[in-house]
Amino acid sequence: MDAAELHIPVMLERCLELLAPAIGRPGAVVVDGTLGLGGHAEAMLERFPGLTLVGLDRDPEALRLAGERLGRFGDRFRPVHTTYDGVDRAIAELGFDHVDGALYDLGVSSMQLDLPERGFSYSKNAPLDMRMDTTADFTAERIIAEYPEAELRRIFREYGEERLAQRYASRIVAERAKHPITTTAELVDILQAATPAALSNQGHPAKRVFQALRIEVNQELAVLERAIPRAIDALGIGGRLVVMSYQSLEDRIVKKIFQARSRSTAPAGLPVELPEHRPELALLTRGAELASDDEKARNPRSAPVRLRAVERVRRAA
C-alpha cells in the first residue's frame, strides 16, 4: 500500500502559505496533529529543510504507513502514537518547550474510508468497527448493541444532526432484540427500511447516522475541545495554528475558541487596555476559507472543508 497514492492533501498550498512565516526558519518545530498518511507532513518537510515535524496519530496503521513515507527525513520526523489532544504531552516528552506551528486536518482519513474492514463507509459491507485507534476496545457494534434507545437518539441528533433520530433509534432497538447487528450492511438495511418513502431521495439515510457513530466511538468532539486550547498554548509568540474542519460541529468548536482568544478581555468601560487583557491570538483568515472549485473537482473530499488559522501574539497571564 502506497501512502502517497491513497491520499491527496487538502488545501495544501494554502496551509503551507499560512504556516510559512512561522515554520520557515531553521530550527523551527511544527506539529502535524492529524498525521494520517503524511501528505501535509511530507510537503512541509520538503518545503522547509530546517524544520522538525512532530506527527501525532491515534491510528497505528497510519503511523506505520506515514513512517515509511517520511523515513527519508531521518530525525526531522518524530512520530507519536496519541490522540491530537495529547499535543502538550507529546512535545514535552520530546524535549520541546514550545512549537512554531501546528496543523490539524480533522475528520476521518482517506485510508480509514477506503479500507472496507475499518467499517467507516456505509457503501461497503464490513464489521461495525469505526475505531480510529485499532488498539482501543470500543466499537460502533457495541454502541448499536448496548446503548439505550434514548442514548442512540441523542447521539444521532447531536452528532449527526439527524431529523429521524427517534425513528432510527427505535427501529434499531426493535431489530437488535431479534438478532445481533454486527455489520454495516445490516445497519444500512435497517435505516433504509425505517426511512419514509417521501424522504428516500434526500440523500443516503445512513450518512448522518454513520457520522454520529464515528464521532461517538472516537470521542472526536470532546478530543477537539481539549486539543485546540492545548495546541494554542503550545505555540510560541508568532507561532501559527491552521485547522481544517469537515462538518459544522467541528467548525463551530474551532470558531468559538479562536474568537474567544482573539478578543480583548478588558472589562467594559476600562479607559486603558492593560497588557494582560490584550488578545492572545490574531485571526489570519476572514471567517472560514473554502477549497477552490478546481481543487474540489480534482479532490472531491475537499468539498466540505472549512479552514481557519490564527497567530499567537501574546502569552496568557
- Residue 57 counted as an annotated binding residue: yes
Residue holding cell 474492514? 117
- Residue 40 counted as an annotated binding residue: yes
For residue 234, give the nearest of 32, 16, 76 by alpha carbon.
Answer: 32
- Residue 2 counted as an annotated binding residue: no
- Residue 39 counted as an annotated binding residue: yes
The packing angle between helices 165-176 and 149-160, to 10°, is: 140
Residue holding cell 441528533? 157
Q: How far is CA 202 from the centre of its chain?
A: 26
Tell me how crowded residue 267 is: count the other CB atoms within 10 A of its CB: 8
Tell me how crowded residue 75 is: count the other CB atoms within 10 A of its CB: 6
- Residue 105 counted as an annotated binding residue: yes
Query: Residue 7 in 3-state DSSP?
Result: coil
Beta carbons of 37 and 3 less than 8 angstroms apart: yes
Q: Compute the C-alpha angle 229/261/41, nearest 5°.
A: 45
The C-alpha cell of 313 is what? 501574539
Beta carbons of 220 and 214 less than 8 angstroms apart: yes
Query: Residue 183 in 3-state DSSP?
Result: strand
- What is the C-alpha to C-alpha distance for residues 252 and 64, in angstroms, rounded to an integer? 32
Name, in order, each residue with C-beta under 8 angstroms of 165's C-beta and a sequence gap of 6 or more: 152, 153, 154, 156, 157
Q: Compute the C-alpha angle 55/61/62, nearest 5°.
A: 35
- Residue 204 counted as an annotated binding residue: no
Q: Residue ranges for the binding site?
A: 38-40, 57, 84, 105, 112
Which residues carry a binding-site annotation for S-adenosyl-L-methionine? 38-40, 57, 84, 105, 112
